[in-house]
């Protein structure tokens, strides 16, 4: 009989999940004391290098403290026991919050939004990924039953593993790209939603690997190829749990306070892009005509907008107030979900604080509208490279003020070092290394 194991996990600045494992029968002890963690681990890049110099060096210690509410069983086909995992917060040795903890960053944003407005965010992350099995057929057959049946029982196993882990899976479907799939899970309050986004990728990779295949969540897997995004859905509820995002009497159906929240996101969008899509290949996907992001505006009935008003449906018993939500389309799996959702909440809160008017809603295909009309509704230009996104981040003192100085410094160091490494590679290797990293 093998010994069951458990692990405490965190997600770093490049969206990789890392942690430490121990005998599962010692969970109670680790819930009390946590596990040691090295501060410089925050400076790991997507290729597994610790970028030096960094603000931490070889000095200091933190502890990774598990949150028992996140306890999840991940079934492994080759083991008689599931692996029990818990997500954790990084704290100082005296137990106080560490200023660079990504999960604490989101938790603080949630706290401040509720303290100042009485509102909470409901969120869901939609993930896309591709299977790297070039000899398998069919290839590009989106939404087809043939694709679903060809890969069965893969889909059934993915959904079963997600449900076993408590992630409330909703849909599994073949997407537009070659051997591309999308998996969605039910909305939840912000911290739970981001926790689920972190676990989902690991669970999907594990199931796919056990099926003898290879999954990648990389934003672009081949030159001029399809891309994988992460769509972050957002809505607001009040202290009683009543939805407050929808007002059918206002443009786009967006309530006044949700309009200010949306305006805050778009006002800081050019800066927060680096924190929601953090690699050079991310910006090959985020370009006009790719059904990702064609502009920094609020859109209705189009998928080129950075922030999109999702459609309502008059199905029997439909509750439009609960159905109504915004979709942020500029994220991908190279970001940390805690930080990505945290900056969206911070930006939305800034919009509410300033009483910003709701953005102009662009309806329909922006390519068919007068250019001046789209420009007037836009909040600057979408960065076309990672370096542009990083420069935008550094210029926006509001956004940089949300991050602790060491967290910001480490993020910039890691991203620029990673970009330099990537730039030195051949074209084919550039896509390969990110397909393997994610």
Q: Does the pLDDT at position 78 exceed 80?
A: no
Q: How many other CB atoms are there within 10 angstroms of residue 133's CB atom?
A: 16
Specify the CATH class of 106-437 in words.
alpha beta
Which residues lie across from 91 on neighbouring strands? Answer: 63, 97
Residues spanned by CATH 3.30.590.10 within the chain?
Answer: 106-437
Mean pLDDT of 333-339: 98
- E strands along 255-303, which residues? 295-300
pLDDT at 219 (0 to 100): 96
pLDDT at 374 (0 to 100): 87
Q: Does the pLDDT at position 370 exceed 90?
A: no
**Of the candidates 122, 103, 113, the residue with the CA atom closest to the CA atom of residue 339:** 103
Report helix, strand or coil for 127.
strand
Mean pLDDT of 321-347: 97
> DSSP string covering 134-170, please?
TTSS--S-TT-HHHHHHHTTHHHHHHHHHHHTT--EE
Specify the CATH class of 5-98 in words.
alpha beta
* Helices (H), ranges, 244-385: 256-267, 269-276, 282-285, 320-323, 337-353, 371-377
pLDDT tens digit sequence for 371-426: 888 888 999 999 999 999 999 999 999 999 999 999 999 999 999 999 999 999 99
Q: How many other CB atoms are there within 10 angstroms of residue 286's CB atom?
A: 26
Distances (CA, A) of 342 to 190, 258, 301, 335, 368: 9, 17, 26, 12, 34
Residue 331: phi, psi to the nearest 5?
A: -105, 160
**Of the candidates 295, 429, 314, the residue with the CA atom closest to the CA atom of residue 366:** 295
Residues spanned by CATH 3.10.20.70 within the chain?
Answer: 5-98
> 188 vs 224, which has greater pLDDT?
188
Q: Does the pLDDT at position 188 exceed 70?
A: yes
Cα 361 to the center of its chain, rounded Å:
25
Q: Does the pLDDT at position 257 exceed 70?
A: yes
pLDDT at 134 (0 to 100): 66
Residue 66: phi, psi to the nearest 5?
A: -70, 150
Report helix, strand or coil for 432.
helix
pLDDT at 139 (0 to 100): 64
CA trace torsion 258, 259, 265, 267 (10° rounding): -160
> 282 vs 222, which has greater pLDDT?
282
Supply 157's token pair.
């196993």
Cα 208 to the center of its chain, rounded Å:
20
pLDDT at 40 (0 to 100): 97
- What pTM does this model have? 0.96
**Average model confidence (pLDDT) for the chain?**
94
pLDDT at 140 (0 to 100): 72
C-alpha to C-alpha distance for 83 and 7, rounded to whole angstroms = 8
Q: Does the pLDDT at position 289 exceed 80?
A: no
pLDDT at 229 (0 to 100): 95
pLDDT at 428 (0 to 100): 87
* Helices (H), ranges, 21-122: 27-33, 102-117
Percent helix, strand, coil in the chain (nearest 5)? 40, 20, 35
Supply 43's token pair.
């400076």
Distance in angstroms between the alpha carbons of the first and the last residue of the chain: 33
Mean pLDDT of 247-264: 97
Mean pLDDT of 287-311: 86
Supply 359's token pair.
């953005």
Q: Does the pLDDT at position 288 exceed 80?
A: no
For 61, counting Cβ atoms within 10 Å of its Cβ (0-12 exposed, 13-18 middle, 19+ buried), the class is exposed
Report helix, strand or coil for 409.
helix
Mean pLDDT is lowest, of 24-33, 195-204, 223-232, 341-350, for: 223-232
Which residues lie across from 128 on neighbouring strands? Answer: 182
pLDDT tens digit sequence for 100-120: 999 999 999 999 999 999 999
C-alpha to C-alpha distance for 39 and 56, rounded to whole angstroms = 6
* pLDDT grade for 138, boundaries at 50, 70 and 90: low
pLDDT at 177 (0 to 100): 84
Report helix, strand or coil for 37.
strand
Cα 348 to the center of its chain, rounded Å:
17
Mean pLDDT of 259-272: 98
**Of the candidates 197, 193, 321, the residue with the CA atom closest to the CA atom of residue 253:** 321
With a CB cutoff of 8 Å and minimum separation 6, the contacts of 313 are: 323
Going by the DSSP 8-state scheme, the letter that residue 176 receives in this structure is S
pLDDT at 45 (0 to 100): 97
């Amino acid at each position: 009989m093998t010994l069951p194991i458990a692990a405490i996990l965190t997600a770093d600045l490049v969206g990789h999940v890392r942690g430490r494992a121990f005998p599962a029968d010692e969970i109670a002890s680790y819930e009390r004391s946590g596990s040691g963690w090295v501060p410089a681990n925050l400076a790991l890049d997507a290729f597994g290098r610790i970028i030096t110099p960094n603000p931490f060096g070889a000095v200091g210690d933190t502890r990774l403290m598990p949150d028992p509410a996140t306890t999840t069983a991940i079934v492994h086909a080759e083991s008689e026991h599931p692996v029990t995992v818990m997500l954790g917060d990084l704290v100082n040795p005296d137990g106080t919050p560490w200023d660079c903890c990504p999960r604490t960053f989101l938790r603080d944003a949630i706290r401040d939004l509720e303290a100042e407005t009485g509102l909470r965010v409901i969120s869901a992350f939609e993930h896309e990924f591709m299977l790297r099995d070039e000899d398998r057929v069919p290839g590009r057959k989106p939404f087809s039953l043939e694709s679903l049946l060809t890969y069965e029982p893969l889909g059934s196993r993915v959904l079963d593993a997600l449900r076993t882990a408590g992630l409330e899976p909703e849909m599994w479907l073949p997407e537009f790209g070659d051997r591309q799939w999308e998996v969605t899970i039910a909305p939840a309050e912000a911290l739970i939603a981001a926790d689920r986004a972190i676990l989902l990728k690991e669970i999907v990779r594990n199931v796919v690997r056990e099926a003898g295949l290879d999954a990648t969540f990389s934003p672009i897997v081949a030159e001029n190829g399809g891309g994988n995004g992460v769509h972050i859905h957002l809505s607001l509820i009040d202290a009683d749990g009543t939805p407050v995002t929808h007002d059918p009497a206002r443009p786009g159906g967006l309530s006044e306070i949700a309009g200010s929240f949306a305006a805050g996101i778009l006002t800081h969008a050019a800066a927060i892009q680096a924190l929601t899509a953090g690699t050079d290949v991310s910006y090959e996907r985020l370009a006009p005509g790719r059904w990702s992001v064609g502009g920094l505006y609020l859109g209705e009935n189009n998928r080129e907008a950075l922030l999109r008003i999702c459609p309502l449906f008059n199905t029997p018993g439909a509750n439009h107030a609960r159905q109504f939500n915004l979709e942020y389309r500029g994220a991908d799996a190279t970001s940390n979900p805690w930080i990505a959702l945290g900056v969206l909440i911070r930006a939305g809160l800034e919009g509410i604080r300033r009483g910003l008017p709701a953005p102009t809603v662009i309806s329909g295909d922006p390519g068919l509208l007068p250019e001046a009309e789209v420009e007037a509704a836009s909040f600057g230009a979408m960065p076309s490279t990672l370096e542009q996104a990083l420069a935008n981040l550094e210029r926006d003192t509001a956004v940089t003020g949300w991050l602790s100085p060491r967290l910001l410094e480490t993020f910039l160091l890691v991203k620029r070092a990673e970009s330099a490494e990537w730039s030195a590679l051949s074209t084919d290797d550039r896509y390969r290394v990110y397909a393997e990293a994610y």
